[in-house]
Structure 1
Amino acid sequence: MATTQECRSALDKLSDNLAKADGDVRGAAALDRSLSCHITDLDITFTGRLGAGRIEVLDTLPGAPRDKAQIRLAMTGDDLVAMVGGELNFAKAWASGRVRLEAGFRDLLRLRTLL
């Protein structure tokens, strides 16, 4: 089972990857939205913002998200680490229910390029 620090490191790496992206991926990552990532097996939530092509983690809280972020993710820590490491395909994980992504319809349309 991934640790809290491993999950935080994975989010930092994902942020770095988004910042280096080109084309459609960079455009999708350019949203300015509140973001939460609930790590279900650790029962913690990272909260922050997606903006300027980066993810900025502002806080780590126990339990499920307290506030409804504009973009909400939920998955196990192992799945987060595997996705960022390239070992798990996000689209397949989302389609199978291993990863939950909730956002407004327009945001989902823009985020689909990240899949």
Structure 2
Amino acid sequence: MATVDECRKALHDLAAKLAANAEARGKLDLDRTLACRVTDLDTAFHGRIAGGLLLDITDGDDPKAKIALIAASDDLLALVNGRLDVTRAIASRQITIKANPFDLLKLRKLL
């Protein structure tokens, strides 16, 4: 099981990767709040996705977030590090993403 600090670092690493790839992807028309809930650590983080970037990552849950990523700590790290395919992880219920269908289609471009 990963630690809270490792999960926090993974989210900041994801934010850095998204920022580095922002120009190659083009501008993504998505501005939503995001909550990342880590089930086995009973912790959460929240931030905002805007223009294809992950911004303002802080500790704590946002129950009103428009997008929620729910995963165990090891699965979160594997997803961010590219060792876990997001489509397979969702299909096998390793991770859950709660969002409206149109937002899910836009998120696929990021992940």
Q: % of aligned pairs identical?
A: 42
Q: 1:57 to 1:5 in 2, by over 3 A?
A: farther
In structure 2, the residue matched to 1:108 is 104
How many pairs does the alignment contain?
Answer: 109
Q: 1:45 to 1:110 in 2, by over 3 A?
A: same
In structure 2, the residue matched to 1:76 is 72
Instruction: For residue 53 of structure 1, report the CA deviation from its aligned partner.
Output: 2.8
In structure 1, the residue matched to 2:55 is 56
Q: 1:39 to 1:48 in 2, by over 3 A?
A: same
TM-score (norm 1): 0.83
In structure 2, the residue matched to 1:3 is 3
Root mean square deviation of aligned Cα: 1.7
Q: Which segments of 5 or more consecutive residues in structure 1 lack a partner in the other structure? A: none
Aligned equivalents of 1:112, 1:45: Cα separation in 2: 22
In structure 2, the residue matched to 1:85 is 81
What does the per-residue CA deviation read over 1:78-114, in whole Å, with 9 as the maximum and x for residues that have no partner? 1111111121111111110000001112211211233
Instruction: For residue 66 of structure 1, report the CA deviation from its aligned partner.
Output: 5.2
SS of corresponding position for 1:41: helix
Q: 1:52 to 1:110 in 2, by over 3 A?
A: closer
* Deviation >4 Å, runs of 4+: none
Q: Check conservation: 1:46, 1:57, Cα contact below 8 A.
A: no
Aligned equivalents of 1:95, 1:78: Cα separation in 2: 17
Q: Which segments of 5 or more consecutive residues in structure 2 lack a partner in the other structure? A: none
Instruction: For residue 10 of structure 1, report the CA deviation from its aligned partner.
Output: 0.4
